[in-house]
Structures are given as structure tokens and as C-alpha cells.
Amino acid sequence: MIASPTAAAAKPPFDAVIFDLDGVVTNTALVHHAAWKDAFDRILQDPRIPSGTNRAPLSRSDYLTFIDGMPREEGVVRFLASRGVHLEIGQETDEAGTWTGFGLGRWKNALFLEHLQRDGVQSYPGTLQLLQRLARAEVPTAVVTSSRNAASVLAAAGIQGFFTVVLDGAAAARLGLQGKPAPDAFLEAAARLGVAPSHAVVIEDSAAGVEAGRRGGFGLVVGIDRTGNRRQLEAAGAGTVLNDVGELDLGQVIGNAWHLVFEGFDAAHEGHREALTTLGNGYMGVRGAAPEGGPFSYAGMYLAGVYNRVRAKSADEMLLEEHMVNAPDCLPLDLRLPGRQWWSEGGMAVVRERRVLDLKRAVLERRLLLEGPDRRRLEVVQTRFASMAEPHLLALQTVITALGWSGAVEVRSGINAGVRNANLPERAQGSDVHLADRTAPPCPDQDLPPDAASVVEVVEHLDPPRLRAFERVLFEFARPGTVVLTTPNREFNVTWETLPAGKFRHPDHRFEWTRQEFRAWATGVAGRFGYEVRFLPVGPEHPEYGPPTQMGVFRKAGGAEG
């Protein structure tokens, strides 16, 4: 079986991702803040601090404004300058405790290592999940930090193997790179990864880091707001600001404001993408689910005013719940090469995928490149829209093109009535099944065999000249063992006072049959294609006009074969 989607199809439209360390990958900001606070609590009490200096403890705001994202020697100098204390930056060779930026910074680092050894550090779960997805898609990553302890921090968190490049404060100092908001370190990391900045992503939690990414011309700069600094991150130039790295969908392509574009496949974000690409027209709303389905897909079609009320027991109390019902899924469409497995079962690998929702035209287009086990490729273009002129109409067009070869492709399509309201963070108190099959006849044949087709209120929507084609498709080519077919009984229409004489029940009906007309058509079809048919009423029967709906149950005659 071929895995689908492949790693290539899952690859985002960027060549590399560069992470800040503190506050993005690991929760070292708390450890750093604790070490800085310990250091400045002692420094501010030192007799070398001029009298009259503000000796208030280091606050969270001070840390974010003057220290976070800076080389530690610069952080010392910047913070003390904010208190009116001038301090020379000194030399990198200054020993710990020397009254210079480097000396006090080195002393602070010793306090940090003590905290790190005693308390440890954890990576953020959302970041770890993204790193795992990028590793599977073979997207190179780098971590850039002003900290000189990057190796120790990554080892303590157990994630050192996820990064192709680690550029820490010590390496930046040796290269003479300026600290943030200068873009030097990010540009060096991109060069080491072998990618152009415009094809790379920077993920930062500090305003200085975001500004560095913007100034470096990176393709996407993501701000992570864990401390309520969204406005600062936006002002610094973040292309998007999120609460957690796990929310980042790297498949989203930012370009035309009227186009919502997703490249590749990302299982972690598939549900989010389906929701964002929902099409609706005021009567129906259909999620942007893949017609071939899959373990990460959730097909949902919801209709205005279609709810179900369910009683459920919880904690010895009876609850009355109202659910918006997920209607039968009209999207299913699958394909395969002859003799191979279906696409939905792994028979075709997705090499490339792109989804575009045109917000101006309200059209969803999905383009895929599929590859079979014999390396033959198909281009598949699927276009769908919900009609504003006909509220009950959803159109899905699929165009399949063989690339460099000629031959047959098998396609199957249908309607899945076995849907559930399953897309819930927690299971609902009541049942998630809200649909019941009311078309089966009330007789021992109620449970239809697997080789059966149910055609409910369909034929009357066909133009009469097309009935012969319908008959051949269903009874000659598909040839199910059993066919259950229902259609309105025109004679019953006179019982409805609101239906004008001579009018059909629905404006889209092309015809409606009397009982005699239906029997004549069904008997003729059965005779031509080797079936037997019997007739059953659906609904309460009127003594003169019969039931509102009539049913024909077709079975292959005497085991007839096609």
C-alpha cells in the first residue's frame, strides 16, 4: 500500500523554519527571569550603585523591555542605564563579577546554570509537535538565541536532535554579529541552512526578534504572544501573531487578500482548514472536506432549520439537548487505476496539493498531483460552489488528466447517509446519530443486503428523455442485487389544499407519476434488465388516492447475471 499523503505533499511552501529559543521552543524565560532577578537584587544593593538610584526589583516589564532577546552583556548595560547607572560593557574575557557588562553577565549566567540544573526546563508541547511535523516533511530548522547556553538548554529539554543549525550567543560574538533587532543572526542561520531569507520563516516572542526578522526580509515572521504583548509584536512587523506555536499552519500562503490558500497537507490543521473553506448560501453550509475522505477529514453539511432534540441522562438528571444535524454527505468521490486499490485506501499517493478559496467568487478549487504504484501520474482539479440562485444546489466538478500516458481510470461516487455529529471536542451527552432510514419497507426485507441501491425521490427530477440513460446506468451497468426506488404518487396531490391543481410538489420536479404510470415504467424496466419488482406503499394510504409516496423493490430475477 502506498502511504498517502506523502511527505512531499505535506511539505509547507517554505524551505526552512528558524526558531527563537527562550519563550518559543523552551520555557527558559522563567528560568532566565529568575536568574536575572537574583542577579539584580544583589547588583542594585552594591555600594558602587550611586545613591538615589531606583533600586526597585527587576519587574516582568523591565525584563521584556531591556533584556529579553539581548546578549546578556547588553541586557545588563541597558537595564542599569534605565535606572540612570552607566556601566562599561567591558571585554568578553572579563571574569564573573567584574563591574562591566560582560563580568556581571557572566555572573548572571552562573546563576542561570544553577537554576537550570536544579529546576530543569521543558519544551512547549505545541512547538514540539511542529518540530516533529517539520522533521517528517524533511524541512530543515535552526534555533537562534542570544543565550550562550543553547546546547545545555536543548539537552536538558531532550530536543537537541531536531535542529539542523544552532546559532547561540557565543557563536554570534565570535562572528561579530549584532544582536536583535539587527537581523545578523537570523541571516547567518539562513545562510547556514542554504536557503534565501524570503523562503524561510522566523518564529519569535520578542518585539526585538520580530523586528530583526522583518528587517532581514524573511518570508514570514510569526510573533508568539505568551505574555500579552500582541500589540508590540504587531507593531514590530509580525505577519501573524499567535498564542502558541501549535496554532501555526505553515501551509497557509499569504498573498492575494481575496484568496485563502493552503499548500500541502497537514493532519494537525486539516480540521481547521476544512472549517475555513466552508461554502454556504444561506440554506446549506458544507465544510471544505476532501471528497475521498480520510482519517483526518470530517465531512459536514448543515441545513438551515434542521435540528434534532435529544434527551440524555447526566448525573442522575435528564437533559434536553438541541443539535444542528449533520446531513448526508454529498461529496464522496474516489478513483483508482484499474486493478489497483482506491485512492481513499492508499492506492494513489498525493505528490502535491493546493487548495484555494476565492472569497470574491465563493469558489473552492483543489489541485492535486497523484501517483500510482507504477509511477503513472494524474492531475486532479476539483472545483465546488454553493449556488445562490438554487439554494438546494451544491456543485462539485472533478477533472482528471493523465500525464504522459493514456488509459482507463475508474471513478466511484455517491452519498453517505451514515454520517454522525462526531466533530466535537468531547462526546455529546446525547447520541451523535440523528438520522434514521425511513425508506426501507416495513417487512422482513427491512435490512437491505450490502449489494443494494436506494434511490429515494430522484427520478422525478430527471427530464423524461434522460430516464433511459438512468435505467441503463443503474440496472444494466451497476446491476445491484436489490434496488429500492421511491417517487411521489401524483394522485395523492389532490389531498393537499395548499397545492394548486395541476402543480407538482416541488418546482424542480419534471414529472410525477400516477400509480398506474409508475407500475408500467417499473415493470418495463424489470423486464428489460432481468429483475423482478414488487410495489409497496409509503405513508398512510388514502382509500381512493393511495399513499403519498410509492415504492418499487427490484431484485435480480432468478439470480440473473449482467
Active site amino acids? 20, 22
- Picking from 104, 42, 33, the residue whose alpha carbon sits closest to that of residue 72 is 104
d(CA 86, CA 77): 7
Closest C-alpha to 171, from 160, 152, 185: 185
The CA angle 354-356-357, to the nearest 5 degrees, is 155
Strands (E), 94-253: 141-144, 165-167, 200-204, 220-224, 240-242, 252-253
Q: Please tell me the number of Cα atoms within 13 Å of 155 on its side-chain side.
A: 7
Q: CB-based contacts of 88: which residues, under 8 Å, 6+ apart?
A: 100, 101
Q: What radius of gyration do the chain's Cα atoms show?
A: 33
* Beta bridge partners of residue 104, listed in sequence order: none
> What are 354's three cell numbers?
493546493
Whole-angstrom distance, CA of residue 250 vs CA of residue 141? 13
**Residue 288 CA: distances (Å) to CA of 275, 284, 326:** 6, 13, 14
Angle at 228 between CA 223 and CA 230, to 5 degrees: 40
DSSP state of 57: P
Q: Which of 144, 137, 226 shows the shortest CA–CA distance to 179? A: 144
φ and ψ of 310, to 5 deg: -130, 135
DSSP assignment string, 241-299: EESSGGG--TTEEP--TTEEEEES--GGGHHHHHHHT-EE-SSEEE----TT--TT---
d(Cα 238, Cα 249) in Å, to the nearest integer? Answer: 15
Strands (E), 35-193: 141-144, 165-167
Q: By the 8 A CB rule, do 330 and 415 touch?
A: yes
Residue 393, amino acid: L
Q: What CA–CA distance (Å, rounded) separates 12 from 352?
A: 10
* Cα–Cα distance measured from residue 257 to residue 279, given in angstroms and rounded to the nearest whole number: 18
| Strand 333-336 relative to strand 317-326, pairing | unpaired
Residue 537, preceding peptide bond in cis (omega within 30° of 0): no
